[in-house]
């Protein structure tokens, strides 16, 4: 152990670690649950601290040596070199102060080991407050999680659906509404709906991200910018954009820091789009597992890959497990959305103190959605094929083909034909011929599924 000190006095810290007194106090006072700060938040903090150090160097608040030492440590943190140094619980102070100080302390100790003495508050935290750094890091992490994880995964899944559309343009099958037979559709049309269910929330995400990329940095404690140099927010954002230059979204200062410190409206909006994506993935997964149900006593209109045994007691059983994983992720994301919404409603006066739980839930949603879309694509969609003979049999057996008779025979007469055919267990054609309403040739000319799609 070694002795560290802060304004509360001395405390023992494990000698092998690079954190300091405030981190150790947080470990002692908040041993709550197993959830720790997401690695994406720590990396975002490293981006932010590096940018702040460079901006402080630009205005002479830090020496070139001090700014460079902080930047070097942050680069190493972003690369994952110091992953074991950020152990703090999500369930800590609601402003995230202890995580901010955890990062400050680790950076200071790394720099000191390399020969540049730094103070966690006076140097690493210069021109900053936990009140503007944690929300800024949260927004950086959220933007990067969406642009680097969610959107690429979604685009790969949409492309996989597009491949299926193009592979099977001519198969006609029965449509279904209310889980009941409806009029025909092309299989490619059905799949195009799945593709667009993925693409539409992505369009919404891309539209909302610039607002989320507006940062609180420069507001310091309550939004007034106390102890920060003039123009610090713009300088920091310029350096952040240079550090994250591969990212398509540019970070900008929030024009009203009193809004930035207390409101999480943009986070709620973007997570709402993630929830919309989760809802759509739930629909897609349910469609796929319904259509693949069987193999002999279900719909059986599509075949999906058989990845693993489905039962410990029923030999040979295979289940739609990828779809089930997606639906569970969707449920989790919907729950996370509720947590984020409630947390965002709790901004009091000049600060929201529900930041770590908001960060944890947002990052978890982004990570789960990205992973489950890649998993669904790799282990299900890429191997999904239509069972054309089953589709054709269901199509020809459907009573809703009667819809194309309604213009000639009238709605009520067509309904009578459908109900009579169902009651007698015969085909529509047989029923029409029995009633003498049309000749076989007339029926075949009118009832043509390819003209109904």
pLDDT at 436: 97
Asked if 259 and 267 touch (Cβ cutoff 8 Å), the reply is no
**Active-site residue, from 178, 250, 345, 398:** 178
Which residues make Cβ contacts (< 8 Å) with residue 298, sequence separation at least 6?
A: 290, 292
% pLDDT > 70, the chain: 100
pLDDT at 37: 98
74-101 confidence digits (pLDDT tens):
999 999 999 999 999 999 999 999 999 9
**Active-site residue, from 311, 375, 398, 427:** 311
Of 381, 444, 368, nearest in space to 158 by CA? 381
* DSSP H or E run through 154: helix 151-167
Of 268, 258, 250, nearest in space to 216 by CA? 258
- Give the residue carrying structure tokens 């001519």: 170
Asked if 128 and 217 touch (Cβ cutoff 8 Å), the reply is yes
- Mean pLDDT over 243-252 rounds to 94
User: Which parts of 187-259 are beta strand (E)?
Assistant: 214-215, 252-253
* C-alpha separations of 14 from 84, 92, 114 in Å: 13, 20, 19
| CA separation for the pair 141, 135 (Å, rounded) | 10
Of 227, 218, 209, 207, nearest in space to 260 by CA? 218
Q: How confident is the model at residue 36 (pLDDT cuts 50, 70, 90)?
A: very high
Q: How confident is the model at residue 46 (pLDDT cuts 50, 70, 90)?
A: very high
Q: How confident is the model at residue 191 (pLDDT cuts 50, 70, 90)?
A: very high
257-281 confidence digits (pLDDT tens):
999 999 999 999 999 999 999 999 9
Asked if 73 and 53 touch (Cβ cutoff 8 Å), the reply is no
Q: Compute the Cα dihedral for 196, 201, 207, 210 and give only its sign.
A: negative
Which residues make Cβ contacts (< 8 Å) with residue 422, sequence separation at least 6?
A: 399
Of 385, 380, 388, 381, nearest in space to 174 by CA? 388
Does 187 score more than 90 pLDDT? yes
Strand-strand pairing, 214-215 and 252-253: parallel
- Mean pLDDT over 299-323 rounds to 97
| CA separation for the pair 200, 390 (Å, rounded) | 31
* DSSP H or E run through 347: strand 347-348
Q: How many residues in total does the chain contain?
A: 453
Q: Residue 45: helix, strand or coil by DSSP? A: helix
Q: Which two tokens stand for residue 355?
A: 């930041």
98-152 confidence digits (pLDDT tens):
999 999 999 999 999 999 999 999 999 999 999 999 999 999 999 999 999 999 9
Q: Which two tokens stand for residue 131?
A: 């009140």
* C-alpha separations of 294 from 184, 298, 312, 436 in Å: 21, 4, 18, 38
Q: Which two tokens stand for residue 86?
A: 């950020």
* C-alpha separations of 179 from 5, 175, 291, 321, 423 in Å: 67, 9, 11, 22, 20
pLDDT at 139: 98
Provide, for the chain, the percentages of residues in helix, strand and coil under a 3-state DSSP scheme, each rounded to the nearest 5: 60, 10, 30
- Give the residue carrying structure tokens 């981006």: 47
Q: Which two tokens stand for residue 447?
A: 């009832």
Q: How far is CA 121 from the centre of its chain?
A: 34
Asked if 374 and 156 touch (Cβ cutoff 8 Å), the reply is yes
311 a catalytic residue: yes
- Mean pLDDT over 408-424 rounds to 97
Does 302 score more than 90 pLDDT? yes
Does 183 score more than 90 pLDDT? yes
Which residues make Cβ contacts (< 8 Å) with residue 314, sequence separation at least 6?
A: none
Query: For all residues of the chain together, what is the average pLDDT?
Result: 98
Which residue(s) pair with 348 in the sheet?
351
Asked if 127 and 232 touch (Cβ cutoff 8 Å), the reply is yes
| CA separation for the pair 190, 125 (Å, rounded) | 55
User: Which parts of 233-290 are beta strand (E)?
Assistant: 252-253
- Mean pLDDT over 387-394 rounds to 98
pLDDT at 246: 85
* DSSP H or E run through 6: strand 2-6
pTM flag (> 0.95): yes
């Amino acid at each position: 152990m070694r002795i560290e000190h802060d304004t509360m006095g001395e405390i023992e810290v494990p000698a092998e670690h690079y954190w300091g007194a405030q981190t150790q106090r947080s470990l002692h006072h908040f041993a709550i649950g197993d959830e720790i700060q997401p690695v994406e938040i720590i990396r975002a903090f490293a981006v932010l601290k590096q940018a702040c150090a460079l901006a402080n160097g630009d205005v002479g608040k830090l020496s070139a040596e001090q700014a460079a030492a902080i930047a070097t440590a942050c680069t190493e943190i972003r690369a994952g070199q110091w992953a074991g140094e950020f152990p703090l619980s999500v369930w800590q102070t609601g402003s995230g102060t202890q995580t901010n100080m955890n990062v400050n302390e680790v950076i200071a100790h790394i720099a000191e080991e390399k020969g540049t003495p730094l103070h966690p508050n006076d140097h690493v935290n210069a021109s900053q407050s936990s009140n503007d750094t944690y929300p800024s890091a949260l927004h950086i992490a959220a933007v990067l999680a969406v642009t680097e994880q969610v959107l690429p995964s979604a685009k790969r899944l949409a492309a996989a659906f597009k491949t299926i559309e193009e592979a099977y343009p001519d198969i006609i099958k029965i449509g279904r509404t209310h889980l009941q037979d409806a009029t025909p559709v092309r299989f490619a049309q059905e799949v195009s709906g799945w593709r667009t269910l993925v693409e539409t929330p992505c369009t919404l995400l891309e539209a909302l991200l610039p607002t989320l990329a507006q940062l609180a940095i420069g507001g310091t404690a309550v939004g007034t910018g106390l102890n920060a140099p003039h123009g610090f927010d713009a300088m920091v954002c310029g350096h952040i954009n240079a550090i994250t230059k591969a990212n398509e979204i540019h970070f900008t200062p929030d024009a009203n820091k009193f809004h930035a410190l207390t409101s999480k409206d943009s986070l709620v909006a973007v997570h709402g789009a993630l929830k919309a994506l989760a809802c759509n993935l739930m629909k897609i997964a349910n469609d796929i597992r319904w259509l693949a149900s069987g193999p002999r006593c279900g719909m059986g209109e599509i075949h999906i890959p058989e990845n693993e045994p489905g039962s410990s007691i029923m030999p040979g059983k295979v289940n739609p497990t990828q779809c089930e994983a997606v639906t569970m992720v969707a449920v989790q994301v919907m729950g996370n959305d509720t947590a984020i919404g409630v947390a965002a409603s709790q901004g009091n006066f000049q600060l929201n103190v529900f930041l770590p739980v908001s960060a944890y839930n947002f990052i978890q949603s982004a990570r789960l959605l990205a992973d489950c879309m890649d998993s669904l694509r790799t282990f299900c969609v890429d191997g999904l094929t239509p069972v054309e003979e089953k589709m054709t049999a269901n199509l020809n057996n459907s009573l809703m083909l009667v819809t194309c008779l309604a213009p000639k025979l009238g709605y009520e007469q067509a309904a009578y034909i459908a109900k009579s055919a169902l009651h007698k267990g015969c085909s529509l054609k047989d029923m029409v011929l029995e009633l003498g309403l049309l000749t076989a040739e007339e029926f075949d000319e009118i009832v043509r599924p390819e003209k109904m799609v």
